[in-house]
Amino acid sequence: MNHRTHNPSTPQDTPDQHAEAYDDADYAHPEPVEEFFAAQEAPRRSPRRPASKAKQRRRLRRTVVLLVVLMLFAGTVYAAALMLRDAIGLNEVTDYPGPGGETTVFTVPEGAGALAIGTGLESADIVADSQTFIDALGGISEGREVQPGEYEMRLQMPAADAAEALLGEDPSLVSYAAVARDLRQGEVFDILSTSTGIPRAEFDALAAEPTEFGLPPEALSLEGYLHPGEYRFDVEATATEIVAEMVQATTDRLAQDGVTDPSEQYRILTIASIVQAEAGEGDYATVAGSINNRLTPGNTETNGLLQSDATVAYGLGKRTYQLSPEEKADTSNPYNTFANPGLPKGPIGSPSDEAIDATVNPADVPFYFWVTVNLDTAETKFSETYAEHLRYVAEYDAWCGDNPGRCE
């Protein structure tokens, strides 16, 4: 440290001079003595020199690095915030603004509640969020429930619109009827009469005049044309209007498959009704192909005989898997395809869309025979020869023996 010192070459001060100096110092410096001496001992600072260019560059680099680090940190925090929002659902779309996009068909299964329906709608991208739909449905239902069936809707609809589309009209203003596939005409009429309150006799009278609904002259009744499905008829609808709607649904489906001639439609429905009765859905096309093989002129395996138990049973007015030899030999039964070659006189039930499609587009197969060997699983075995077919019939008989009452 730099201290003031007495220069040896300088004459010494006298005591009086010292006293005067101290007196003057006390007068000139009223602050405490300790502060005075501390001030005397403080180092003298040299004037600040400008920073060198190298230091300036280093300082600039440190500043840039610091800014980059801060930007990276801010970006990381922002990304983490977005991830957190996604994790807790803040970014999820809970409703679409509408009006919706492409049309689609949504099926409400039998017994489905609001939760199951909402989950299905969300999975199909009809609504954005199932809970939003459930809330919208609850706001307008007033105790009403969505009826099972097929509904035309739009993808990405507002939840409120979807609820309106499914709940529809006040159920007190419509008659609901569920018509299953493979039902016969009389069974369908029973359902329609119960649903609408219209006497069964009115429907029977309409069936006696099938050409009034555009059916070809060879049609014996409305059998095969009463399309399966879920219906909501206006409570004021007449029996004629109801039947016309169901027949139209059938002919529309045939036209969709390219079949528009009334006589050809009748033929397709006749085969499709046999396919429906004889096979499980997975085998529709194969059975349809096998039927075509039996109907092919010159067929020596079956000589043009369809040999369908279902057609014979229909002609007898009963449902059974067991037919006697006498019943199979009865040529007076116009639906007896064991005794009479070719197709029966008409359809034997209401075929589904899938059975119609398979009949219009049958599989190209070499088979003439088929038999369902397990009625629980609908396992069906096909064969080209009668000898092979008999072995599969033996499997069916064995299954019937192990399951008493199932094959009656």
For residue range 254-296, list pLDDT tens digits in order: 999 999 999 999 999 999 999 999 999 999 999 999 999 999 9
Mean pLDDT of the chain: 84
- Candidates 386, 351, 341, 131; CA nearest to 228 is 351
What percentage of the chain reaches a pLDDT higher than 90?
A: 62
Q: 26 pLDDT band (50/70/90 cuts)? A: very low
Mean pLDDT of 181-206: 96
Q: pLDDT tens across 100-147, in order?
A: 888 888 999 988 999 999 999 999 999 999 999 999 999 988 888 888
pLDDT at residue number 5: 37
pLDDT at residue number 14: 41
pLDDT at residue number 216: 97
Q: pLDDT tens across 229-246, in order?
A: 988 898 899 999 999 999
Lowest mean pLDDT among 67-76, 137-146, 336-345: 67-76
> Is the predicted pLDDT of residue 167 greater than 70, yes or no?
yes
> Is the predicted pLDDT of residue 326 greater than 60, yes or no?
yes
> Is the predicted pLDDT of residue 27 greater than 60, yes or no?
no
What percentage of the chain reaches a pLDDT higher than 70?
A: 80
> Is the predicted pLDDT of residue 370 greater than 70, yes or no?
yes
pLDDT at residue number 97: 86
pLDDT at residue number 3: 42
> Is the predicted pLDDT of residue 1 greater than 60, yes or no?
no
> Is the predicted pLDDT of residue 176 greater than 90, yes or no?
no
Mean pLDDT of 322-337: 95
Mean pLDDT of 205-226: 97
Q: Pick the residue with more confidence: 83 or 165? A: 165
**pTM higher than 0.85:** no
